[in-house]
Amino acid sequence: MPITPARTIAFDALLRVETEGAYASDVLHARLNAKVSSRDAALATEIVMGALRWQRLIDFFIERYTSKKIATIDAEVLVALRMGIYQLRFLSRIPANAAVNDSVELVKRARKSSAASLVNAVLRRAARESAKPVEEFLPLDLTPADALGLLHSHPTWLVERWLARFGRAETITLLATNNETPRRACAVISREFREDVTRSLADASVEFEPGRLLRDAITVRSGDIAKTTAFERGWIAIQDEASQMIPVLLDVNPGESVLDVCAAPGGKTLALARAAGPNALVVAADRRENRLRVMRERLARAGASYVKFVALDGTASLPFNSKFHRILIDAPCSGTGTLARNPEIRWKLKPTDLAELHQRQVMLLDSALECLAPHGRLIYSTCSLEPEENESVVSEALRSHPEFQMTALEIPAGVLANGTHADTLVTQDGAFRTFPPLHFTDGFFAAALRRR
């Protein structure tokens, strides 16, 4: 029997994540084109993201059923087993036979026919035990962090960090939130096209509701935003609400010069350009020229062709003669605030990465501060929950630049949705923070700096 397109797409995507270190969202975006039905696209996305979120727990069952270490199993066989067990244990509407048979056929398709009988046997057993609670299978000698890490499919080292900082109850809530499908939020880039956006979404049968945090955000309940006229013309952009908040915090006025140091993929740059206007100097910088080319096309479609693009390494001295009124550093980071949206990060990230990221982030901030005009404002932000990448970066940079100080952030009037209060987003130290279980967004941090 032919394999369903959804499972074929899911298998290929997961194999690329496993063997090439690709990001699932990028692979899916490339594969889920107009030729793929919405039903197949939804199932493929569910399998890929679900298998990645629950990978540690699924691998625990694979080792139990095969008596083999994960590292000894061929990647193609491992991916087929992960897909099958995810469907059997977590997707109640999927017939067991469909999950098992397609996994077996996928192994054959990958030229691993010798493993077909193993995959069949393992998944048949997994099907028989799929209704049993996970707790029945846990070893008795696990530490509290190990047990939570296995039950909620996170690395133990990350669980240990969060237990120390957040406590048990809040950590469990965060782990559970990271294993849920995140809300699909969009930014309405141009208020003047609000009615056109609404009409475009309705025409494409996209169901949506107002955003939770921002007045100009929407939350998609069903449908494909990317296939709407509003998306094609740049009136809306797919962007988490916490991410949408970052350019708002920079509080750009018309005519002010703006520098976006780590600009790709460009969602924040577009918002900054709209606020500054076509007569202002708006510079988007990034290390990779190919990403800048994609940005240039995207911003041109959205009517922001006046943005200037510069390829540079932001950790080095910046090549600008003039100072900027507003600077944004949305720094490359661990992404621990986005583990629901980018589940593979939890398996790629290592404890030593945080120290390396910290050093690079401090260098980015050091360089950018030299380009900030008197009375200007710089926003440093990340989508990380880790203090090494957030307040510790700001503190270290300020020790090297005593002429600057951190100032309390103020959210401009009229941008928040009804019922959202600024004091739930700005903490006592004046920084902006979102916490996924509390705000239903990615976890973001932002701090404002200016000259004394």
Q: Could you tell me which residues are beta bridge partners of residue 286?
A: 311
Question: Could you tell me whether strands 324-330 and 432-433 are parallel, antiparallel, or unpaired per DSSP bridges?
Answer: unpaired
pLDDT tens for 106-119 read 999 999 999 999 99
**Rg, C-alpha atoms of the chain:** 23
Domains of the chain by residue range: 5-137, 184-238, 241-451
Here the tokens at position 17 are: 């994540």
| Amino acid letter, 225 | I
Q: Which residues are catalytic?
A: 383
* Angle made by CA atoms 51, 53, 59, in degrees to the nearest 5: 60
CATH homologous superfamily, domain 5-137 = NusB-like (1.10.940.10)
Question: Could you tell me whether strands 324-330 and 282-286 are parallel, antiparallel, or unpaired per DSSP bridges?
Answer: unpaired
- Residues across the chain: 452
pLDDT for 398: 96
Burial of 134 per CB tally in 10 Å (0-12, 13-18, 19+): middle
Q: Decide if 349 contacts 414 (C-beta within 8 A).
A: no
Residue ranges in the chain whose pLDDT is less than 50: none
Which among 101, 116, 73, 76 has a CA at the least distance from the CA of 3? 101
**Three-class SS string for the chain?**
CCCCHHHHHHHHHHHHHHHHCCCHHHHHHHHCCCCCCHHHHHHHHHHHHHHHHCHHHHHHHHHHHHCCCHHHCCHHHHHHHHHHHHHHHHCCCCCHHHHHHHHHHHHHHCCCHHHHHHHHHHHHHHHHHCCCCHHHHCCCCCCHHHHHHHHCCCCHHHHHHHHHHHCHHHHHHHHHHHCCCCCEEEEECCHHHHHHHHHHHHHCCCEEEECCCECCEEEEEECCHHHCHHHHCCCEEECCHHHHHHHHHHCCCCCCCEEECCCCCCHHHHHHHHHHCCCCCEEEEECCHHHHHHHHHHHHHCCCCCCEEEECCCCCCCCCCCCEEEEEEECCCCCHHHCCCCCCHHHHCCHHHHHHHHHHHHHHHHHHHCCEEEEEEEEEEECCCCHHHCHHHHHHHHHHCCCEEEECCCCCCCCECCCCCHHHCECCCCCEECCHHHHCCCCCEEEEEEEC
* CATH number among 3.30.70.1170, 3.40.50.150, 3.30.360.10, 3.30.200.20, domain 184-238: 3.30.70.1170
Which among 199, 259, 266, 202 has a CA at the least distance from the CA of 239? 266
Per CATH, 5-137 and 184-238 having the same topology is answered no
pLDDT tens for 332-352 read 999 999 999 999 999 999 999
Q: Does domain 241-451 have CATH number 3.40.50.150?
A: yes
Q: In Å, how far from its chain's centre is CA 306? A: 28
Distance CA 380, CA 377 (A): 10
pLDDT for 1: 66
pLDDT for 233: 80
pLDDT for 14: 98
pLDDT tens for 148-204 read 999 999 999 999 999 999 999 999 999 999 999 999 999 987 777 788 888 999 888
Burial of 310 per CB tally in 10 Å (0-12, 13-18, 19+): middle
